[in-house]
Structure 1
Amino acid sequence: MINTFWQISAILVSVLALGVAFWLYTWIKAQPSSNETVQHVGDLIRKGANTFLRREYVLLARFAGVIAILILIFLPSPIWSGNWTKNLTMAFAYICGTALSALAGKIGIQVATIANVKSAEAAKKDIKLSFMAGFRGGAVMGMAVVGFCLLGVTVLLSFTKDSSAILGFSFGASSLALFAKAGGGIFTKTADISADLVGKVELGIPEDDPRNPAVIADNVGDNVGDVAGMGADLFDSNVASMAAALIVGMALAKDNANIVLAYAGIGLLASIIGVFCARMGSSKDPTTALNKNTYITTGVYLLLTALATFMFGFEWRIWGATMVGLLVGLIIGIATDYFTNDKKKPVQLTAEASKSGPALTILSGFAYGFFSVLPALIGIAISSLAAYKICEPLGGNYPLFGISMAAVGMLSIVAMIISNDAYGPIVDNARGLVEMGNLGEEALNITDELDSAGNTVKAMTKGFAIGAAGLTVIALLGTFMNEVNVAAAIAGKEIISGFDIMNPVVFFGLMIGIPIPAVFSAMLILGVDRNAQRMVKEIRRQFKEIPGLREGKAGVVPDYSKCIDIATTGALRELIPAGLMAIITTILVGFIGGVQAIGGFLTGNIVSGLLLALFMSNAGGLWDNGKKFVEAGHCGGKGSDAHKAAVVGDTVGDPFKDTAGPSINTQITVVSLVSSLLAVAFLSYSLF
């Protein structure tokens, strides 16, 4: 039976996390800010971000409403079959998943657009205070996302006692994350690319120069893409890992839910401890400080879960599988750091190649990006194999439960990971505010250093999230098999033990699944391309038609709102088609080839999706930090030919790392959940 103690404990830890988020919010608001220009620009960024988020959420609410109605009618079985309460529960769970994910994103935006102003103002005094404002702003997002996630899953499980209802909750979170990440990514990279191409490359003006009409849209994009979008992405990954573990575990024994809730709750508690330990040491190195936070949280989690396993008699093999996921997550982060940190050779050699032009910048980034895929995929392979083998002596489906717990372990400290990730766009905004508010060269140097650390850590968190998604979707493939076999047993059909690629139906699904992440990525990147073309024309028009703008005459300001509107309208137009393509293709493959074809489809989708997601995320981060390495005075410095080439590399990498790459792991999660939800339908109705 599910132990009430662990349900109550999980709820209490969730409430504690939300309380910590509120305390951090009040601390950030209490920090001083007096510069009128910084305050005005900060208000413009806040208004733009909230406007986009409101319009995006209205669109997604309509989409979610349609999906909720379809779930109510058809899932888990047609409502006219008699068991309408399960359909109602599934639809309600779906709505809860979308609502809580959206709420976490909204909270993140509200805090981030305050923290950026406070971090900018603090940079006039001290790097440590500026760092704390940025990190604690990100920590509000981390606490809110994981707090709502654990609270939602625990309350839903407590009331329904049905792990399959968590599938609906997870699908709600995943579908919102898919479109929120895509929409936010298209918005932010439209503005970023356009501002860089016209401002830096064509006119040679600084990155956050207030003369550039796209500069506010760029700062708005940091929030809607990297705060709200990434928060929704990791909310989705965390819920999906818990859903897979609960479904597989509870099919073996109901009390396995206690282990999932215990380890997830301890992970959030460890992250809370880690947030309060966050300090910049005497070295004043923000990257070291952020990494130290992660290591402290990891150590606390390892010790507390071992103590809980000993005290409450949990199976040590399950603990071992969980720890494998946790440690491999750290290894993936370290490998990502090597390929994206400007203190390491790959970034420096790519910057050096920029001296010979943008072609070599892009070739170097591609090569190192592909190299970076190997350690992460080896890590995922080792963790899944090790977790399987550790739990194999337990028999039954426990090896698969071990893999799902490895995913839970990898995402156990996700609140800290989100805190580090959201820190990045906050200090990026702070750097722009320092420049636009003329807060001085020292403040600009401080925020440049904080921003560089943010780029490195953002790349690490994206690699971490993608790696966790890899383990999660392997577990979700097991969840799909579990749902199929339950239905097959009832219908008296053959039980599935695996998918043989020599079976032509499985191979058919495999070959359809492989290109889906590539097509999905292409649709998002083309969305950025089309939108950026429109914005580049608008920026050029303003510089041409507004007298005195290019010269920076006093009182002459660009029309920032026009660029924000272009980014918003284009992003909302482009965000739906790519996601729908992936979902519709999954449904078609299922009804054509049945469950065997879906097994192949999911396998192909997972493998190619992980490779592309890791490559694009890491290559993009490498190009970004290569540009910043040049701007720091290396390889010719700002304004040199190497700088212009590095900017071109960065503009190629922008939609890679912030639009397509991190959206793929959400895409593979969504199609895995759609497959599990429709498993009975695919088993009952298919051409082959």
Structure 2
Amino acid sequence: MSNLDLFLIISILVSALAFCFAAWLYRWVKAQPSSNERVEEIGSYIRKGAKTFLRKEYLVLAKFCGAAAILIFIFLPAPIWKGGSILQNLTIVIAYLCGTIFSAFAGKIGIAVATMANIKTAESARSGGIRPSFLSAFRGGAVMGMAVVGSSLLGVTLVMAITHDSTALLGFSFGASSLALFAKAGGGIFTKTADISADLVGKVELGIPEDDPRNPAVIADNVGDNVGDVAGMGADLFDSNVASMASALVMAIALGNKMGVDYSAMVFCYAALGLLSSIFGVMAARMGKKDDPTMALNMSTYLTTGIFAVLTAGATYIFRFDWRIWGATAIGLLVGVIIGITSDYFTNDDKKPVRNVAKASESGPAFTILSGISYGFLSVLPSMVGIGISAMISYNLCASISPEDPIAGMFGISMAAVGMLSIVGMIISNDAYGPIADNARGLVEMGDLGDEALKITDSLDSAGNTVKAVTKGFAIAAAGLTIISLLGAFMSEVNEAAGSVVLNGFDIINPLVFFGMMVGAAIPAVFSAMLMLGVDRNAQRMVAEIHRQFREIKGLKEGKPGVVPEYDKCIDIATDGALKELIPAGFFSIIVTIAVGFIGGVNAIGGYLAGNIVSGLLLALFMSNSGGLWDNAKKYIEAGGNGGKGSDAHKSAVIGDTVGDPFKDTAGPSINTQITVVSLVASLMASLFLSFSLF
């Protein structure tokens, strides 16, 4: 049995173990006590709203994916009327559809457990204290983590085992990415529509608490946490994990064919050990004596990192893998942790940037915005430098494997991306913990479970916000390395289609490359603007609806007994608006990519991808960190700093947070998915761009 066959089997077994562990975690969370009828009632509203949105969104996306599948069958990897193999085109179509199905499954699982875990977390805060409440939220998030990474590893393994075709792997990855792009965009528009509307009318205009049941948008806000931060982020990280493995395998196959070495086995070995490490890390997650949830989440991440480093070093020694490739993987993992720490510095309310923005808020909202934007831009440098250094070191480490072939160095970068995403199971667990804790806090307030339970869930929610900023920085950085490696996959696909080496790199002095780079650099900005304008239009409609209800429903503003707002109206506005706005931005990115390819050919696409990567990473990091900073500055003031709730500083900070919301939860995290999608479109259409172009 070859090493590749062995690790294909091991990958399937580890994926099965992850699913079994997820099932155990689900049963554990479900077994936690919950008996409060009011909390159960509100929780059912949230569950129903989230499931309704997801069903409608998936119906819309099914139509898009069906149309895309037909076009893929006709054109990719070569037009069927030009002698293309019908069987190969059909294989890519099936792989594409499987990618969309696996991604949708991950989001569905996340919604199911998150809308149950929020109730258990709220009830545990009242009856058991902070430790069982923390475990309910974290283990609920871990179900999502195990399901997402188990699905991605299993999907890539099955495609590889059945087809042994690198293009089919890219098709599977494109399916995951295209669904993730629209799921993240749609979920982000929904959640920020409700969040901004609830904050502006509730906190700023009326001065009522964040989760006051009188606010008609409050249920939509909680639904949004699930469809945006659970289903959307799960699809996003599913896409990143699949894309990193697919790009690494494309180059592993190309390099292995030249060197006579099976490098694919290393990719599956390290990916399987990463998931196994995440299982151990989730099992070990506990709160220490200080009852600090942030420390518990961070320590479990560091433990997972250490376990992965040891396991992969041992496997490299036992199976006599190349230590240079292990070094590239370790560099990616290390830089991922460093970028996470950087994001923590700029978004944690214990650090100077957040407190300085809170202080600036005393002087008015203009200073909140100016200071937040400034720190957001400052936060970009360490992460961009970190991504650049990891790419440079990993490239040079592996370039010596085959000095005359640039694919060897690019394979090193792809393995750094695999390393950075190796602990993605733990990262998703931490990320999904955040919206569960946030929902639990709302349920405690709306269910009137007491001040002690509110204090506990406030602490859990604050930790979720801090860790969420770290995980977003981590996800964006990992996507950055993945996308750089996809540039290598594009070169590999072009050279394979040409039957010779026609691309060794891209010279920016070449006018075609420069043209592509200018267009590519503009796309993330336009894409972000389209998403945020969607939030803006939708939020204005919802604010008008909230005003109408407070004006027309007698006794609602005063909170008279038996007077209940029309929550469904706000949920419908958020749902319909998100579904209307989610297609144009993603479709625009794909159409422009195809247009640049047919205008300038493969050289223009190379420049286009390079410009898209650099501009996209900068904007994504800036928006994620500045948004997280504004959010935690608001929460720091609400906890009593700089005048506390109801002060002028608080009102300024709420305005800053409403600007930051679409930054960090709509546009920012969607950009990395957009870059991945256009990179995969370029790789899949490489032979077409090589054969047909205007210049």
Aligned to 2:536: 529
TM-score (norm 2): 0.98
Aligned to 1:166: 169
Aligned to 1:116: 118
Aligned to 2:232: 229
Residue 423 in structure 1 maps to residue 433 in structure 2: yes
Aligned to 1:86: 88
Aligned to 2:151: 148
Q: What is the CA deviation profile of residues 259-291 of structure 1, one whole-angstrom value per residue up to 9, with x for unaligned ones?
A: 000000000000000000000111111100000
Write the letter of the residue equivalent to 1:107. I
Deviation for aligned residue 1:36 = 0.6
Deviation for aligned residue 1:392 = 2.1
| Counterpart mapping for 1:89-108 below 5 A | 89-108=91-110
Say which SS state the counterpart of residue 635 (structure 1) adopts. helix
Say which SS state the counterpart of residue 499 (structure 2) adopts. helix
Aligned sequence identity (%):
72
Deviation for aligned residue 1:483 = 0.6
Deviation for aligned residue 1:94 = 0.2
Residue 488 in structure 1 maps to residue 489 in structure 2: no
Write the letter of the residue equivalent to 1:224. V
Measured in 1, the distance between the counterparts of 2:408 and 2:508 equals 24
Aligned to 1:629: 636
Q: What is the CA deviation profile of residues 559-592 of structure 1, one whole-angstrom value per residue up to 9, with x for unaligned ones?
A: 0000000000000000000001100000000000
| Counterpart mapping for 1:168-317 below 5 A | 168-253=171-256, 255-317=262-324
Q: What is the CA deviation profile of residues 302-322 of structure 1, one whole-angstrom value per residue up to 9, with x for unaligned ones?
A: 000000000001000000000
Measured in 2, the distance between the counterparts of 1:476 and 1:19 equals 32
| Counterpart mapping for 1:282-361 below 5 A | 282-361=289-368
Write the letter of the residue equivalent to 2:46. I
Residue 451 in structure 1 maps to residue 458 in structure 2: no
Give structure 2 stretches of 5+ with no counterpart.
none
**Residue 579 of structure 1: which of 586, 589, 597 is its match?**
586
Measured in 1, the distance between the counterparts of 2:35 and 2:485 equals 51
Measured in 2, the distance between the counterparts of 1:191 and 1:2 equals 51
Write the letter of the residue equivalent to 2:325. I
Deviation for aligned residue 1:495 = 1.2
Write the letter of the residue equivalent to 1:8. I
Measured in 2, the distance between the counterparts of 1:273 and 1:159 equals 30
Write the letter of the residue equivalent to 2:670. S
Measured in 2, the distance between the counterparts of 1:130 and 1:220 equals 20
Q: What is the CA deviation profile of residues 426-449 of structure 1, one whole-angstrom value per residue up to 9, with x for unaligned ones?
A: 000000000000000111011011
Deviation for aligned residue 1:3 = 2.3
Deviation for aligned residue 1:82 = 4.9
TM-score (norm 1): 0.99
Write the letter of the residue equivalent to 1:509. G
Contact 2:248 2:415 in 1 (8 A): yes
Say which SS state the counterpart of residue 502 (structure 1) adopts. coil
| Counterpart mapping for 1:433-448 below 5 A | 433-448=443-458
Measured in 2, the distance between the counterparts of 1:571 and 1:391 equals 44
Measured in 1, the distance between the counterparts of 2:185 and 2:530 equals 10
| Counterpart mapping for 1:638-653 below 5 A | 638-653=645-660
Measured in 1, the distance between the counterparts of 2:694 and 2:70 equals 26
Write the letter of the residue equivalent to 2:506. F
Q: What is the CA deviation profile of residues 505-534 of structure 1, one whole-angstrom value per residue up to 9, with x for unaligned ones?
A: 111111111110000000000000000000
Measured in 2, the distance between the counterparts of 1:308 and 1:67 equals 40
Deviation for aligned residue 1:217 = 0.1
Aligned length: 685
Measured in 2, the distance between the counterparts of 1:111 and 1:575 equals 25
Contact 2:78 2:84 in 1 (8 A): no
Aligned to 1:403: 413
Aligned to 2:77: 76
Aligned to 2:673: 666
Deviation for aligned residue 1:79 = 2.3
Aligned to 1:127: 130
Write the letter of the residue equivalent to 2:297. L
Deviation for aligned residue 1:661 = 0.1
Deviation for aligned residue 1:409 = 0.2
Deviation for aligned residue 1:489 = 1.8
Deviation for aligned residue 1:558 = 0.1
Write the letter of the residue equivalent to 1:474. I
Contact 2:186 2:578 in 1 (8 A): yes
Write the letter of the residue equivalent to 2:664. K
Aligned to 1:393: 400
Measured in 2, the distance between the counterparts of 1:412 and 1:252 equals 22
Deviation for aligned residue 1:2 = 5.8
Measured in 2, the distance between the counterparts of 1:163 and 1:265 equals 19
Deviation for aligned residue 1:398 = 1.7
Measured in 1, the distance between the counterparts of 2:366 and 2:129 equals 40
**Residue 596 of structure 2: which of 586, 589, 592 is its match?**
589
Write the letter of the residue equivalent to 1:329. G
Say which SS state the counterpart of residue 133 (structure 2) adopts. helix
Shifted more, 23-32 versus 248-257: the winner is 248-257
Aligned to 2:29: 28
Write the letter of the residue equivalent to 1:180. A
Runs of 4+ in 1 over 4 A off after TM superposition: none
| Counterpart mapping for 1:578-617 below 5 A | 578-617=585-624
Write the letter of the residue equivalent to 1:435. E
Measured in 2, the distance between the counterparts of 1:476 and 1:161 equals 19
Give structure 1 stretches of 5+ with no counterpart.
none
Q: What is the CA deviation profile of residues 117-173 of structure 1, one whole-angstrom value per residue up to 9, with x for unaligned ones?
A: 000000112101110000000000000000000000001100111122100000000
Q: What is the CA deviation profile of residues 332-380 of structure 1, one whole-angstrom value per residue up to 9, with x for unaligned ones?
A: 0000000000000000010011111110001010000000000000100
Say which SS state the counterpart of residue 11 (structure 1) adopts. helix
Say which SS state the counterpart of residue 3 (structure 1) adopts. helix
Q: What is the CA deviation profile of residues 630-676 of structure 1, one whole-angstrom value per residue up to 9, with x for unaligned ones?
A: 00001000010000000000000000000000000000000000000
Aligned to 1:468: 478
Say which SS state the counterpart of residue 100 (structure 1) adopts. helix
Aligned to 1:380: 387
Deviation for aligned residue 1:74 = 1.2
Say which SS state the counterpart of residue 108 (structure 2) adopts. helix
Deviation for aligned residue 1:394 = 1.1
Say which SS state the counterpart of residue 670 (structure 2) adopts. helix
Contact 2:77 2:84 in 1 (8 A): no
Contact 2:192 2:661 in 1 (8 A): yes
Residue 505 in structure 1 maps to residue 515 in structure 2: no
Measured in 1, the distance between the counterparts of 2:324 and 2:507 equals 29
CA RMSD of aligned residues (A): 0.8
Measured in 2, the distance between the counterparts of 1:548 and 1:400 equals 65
Measured in 1, the distance between the counterparts of 2:194 and 2:84 equals 52
Measured in 1, the distance between the counterparts of 2:3 and 2:239 equals 24
Contact 2:107 2:235 in 1 (8 A): yes
Write the letter of the residue equivalent to 2:256. A
Write the letter of the residue equivalent to 2:292. D
Measured in 2, the distance between the counterparts of 1:2 and 1:561 equals 55
Deviation for aligned residue 1:78 = 1.6
Measured in 2, the distance between the counterparts of 1:40 and 1:550 equals 21
Measured in 1, the distance between the counterparts of 2:76 and 2:23 equals 37
